[in-house]
Amino acid sequence: MGDEEKKKICIIVSKGTLDMAYPPLILASVAAALDWEAHIFFTFWGMDIITKKKVDKLKISAVGNPNIPMPNILAVLPGMDGMVTGMMKKTLNKVGFPPIRELIKECKENGVKFYACEPTMKAFGLSREDLLDEVDDIIGAATFLEMAADANVTLFI
């Protein structure tokens, strides 16, 4: 059975919060474990997930998230994002979600491909050395679209 019969998922990751970092990495990792081709294109805020200095500091926002039961008037106080993020990390780890860096490793071991968005890198003043070694290539939207044209599942996160 040739590669052309493999299923394929192509995900664009535009968010860089901790809660929105999990879905693309989990979906891609699971897809790759099912022997699908899996490609993730990191752009805009999503770039933080593959940036060395940022990946371990991803946060969720305590403010403006009505699903977290904390009044905004408290949530804006200094340290609250950090506190809520810490609580979420504990909860996730307890039920078996690995930290983001481990999930990234898992993705790569399963064969997921990571791409950094070239124009976003320029906008954020990033060079190749700023990115995780796990990044396979730096590309533009055109290259990613051509990759996604025959995908079974395409998602924007």
**Bridging pattern class, strands 137-139 and 113-117:** parallel
19 binds a copy of itself (CB under 8 A): yes
**Bridging pattern class, strands 8-13 and 153-156:** parallel
Owner of token pair 């949530």: 75
SS3 content of the chain, % helix, strand, coil (to 5): 50, 15, 35
130 binds a copy of itself (CB under 8 A): no
Judged by CB under 8 A, the residue of 1, 78, 127, 129 near a copy of itself is 78
101 binds a copy of itself (CB under 8 A): no
92 binds a copy of itself (CB under 8 A): yes
115 binds a copy of itself (CB under 8 A): no
The interface mask with a copy of itself, positions 33-72, x = CB under 8 A, is xx-x------xxx--x---------xxxxxxxxxx---xx
Taking CA 51 as the corner, what is the angle to CA 114 and CA 45, rounded to the nearest 5 degrees? 85
CB contact at 8 A, 157 and 24? yes
Residue 71's identity, in one-letter code, is: P
Interface contacts to a copy of itself, rule CB under 8 A: 7, 9-12, 14, 16-17, 19-20, 22-23, 26-27, 30-31, 33-34, 36, 43-45, 48, 58-67, 71-73, 75-78, 80-81, 91-92, 94-97, 119, 122-123, 140-142, 145-146, 148-157
